[in-house]
Amino acid sequence: MFKQQLISFLIFIACAFQTNAQLATNNDFNNERLRINKTGMVVLTSWASTNIAVGSIGWAYDKGAMKYFHQMNVFWNIVNLGIAVPGLFQSRKYGKEKISNGKLIEEQYANEQLYLINDGLNIFYIGSGFLLKSIADTYPDNQLRFEGYGNSLILQGGFLLVFDLVQYLRHRNHRKKSNTIFFDQLSLSKSGIGLKYSFK
C-alpha cells in the first residue's frame, strides 16, 4: 500500500515539474507571438500616421482626382490607426502571465486565420478600386472622385495585402520552427476521433 502511494506521489511530482516546464516554454512562445503582433502594429501605426499626415495636406491643397485620392487615404487610415493603437496597448498588457496549452493553441491559430481572412478582404478592396476606376467615365459628375477613391483603394489594399501576408508567414514560421512542446506532443488518436497528448 505504502509503495503504491509512494509511486503515485512520485508520478504527481513528475507531472508537476512537467507542467511547470511546459508552461514556461509556452510562455516564451507566447511572448514571441506577441512580439510579432507588436512589430506588425508598429508598422501599421507608422503607415497610418504617415498617410493621415500626407493625405491631410494633399486633401487641402491638391485638386482633381488627387484630392479625392488623399481624402480616401485619410479616411482609410483613421480606421487603420483605430485598429493599430489598441493592438499596441494589448500587446503590452498580455504575455506577463503563464498561458495554458489550450489557450495558446487557440490564440496562435486565431492569429494565423485572422491574417488569411484579412488577405481575402484585401483582394476585395483592390478589386473594388479597379472597379471604381473602370466605371468612372460613365459617371461624369463623380468621375474624379471615383478615380481618386479607386487609386486609394488599390494602394491601401495592396499595402494591407503584403502586410497581412507577411504577418501570416511570420506567425506560421514561428509555429513551425518552435520547439514548444504543446505543438510537438499533440497528435490524432488512433481512432482518429480525438487528440492525444504524450509526455516526454
Over the stretch 129-182, which tens digit does the pLDDT of each residue have? 999 999 999 999 999 999 999 999 999 999 999 999 999 999 999 888 876 545
Mean pLDDT score, 35-51 = 93
Mean pLDDT on 114-143: 95
Residue 71 inside a domain? The answer is: yes
Residue 135 lies in a domain: yes
Residue 42 lies in a domain: yes
Does 94 fall in a domain? yes
In a domain, 18, yes or no: no
In a domain, 13, yes or no: no
Q: Which has more confidence, 13 or 50?
A: 50
Residue 88 lies in domain: 26-185
Predicted confidence at residue 104, as pLDDT, reads: 83
pLDDT confidence bin for 12, thresholds 50/70/90: very low
Tell me how many domains the chain contains. 1
Burial 78-101 (b: 16+ CB within 10 A, else e): eebbeebeebbeebeeebeeebeb
In a domain, 180, yes or no: yes
Quickly state the pLDDT bin for 99 (edges 50, 70, 90): confident
pTM of the model: 0.76
Would residue 15 count as lying in a domain? no
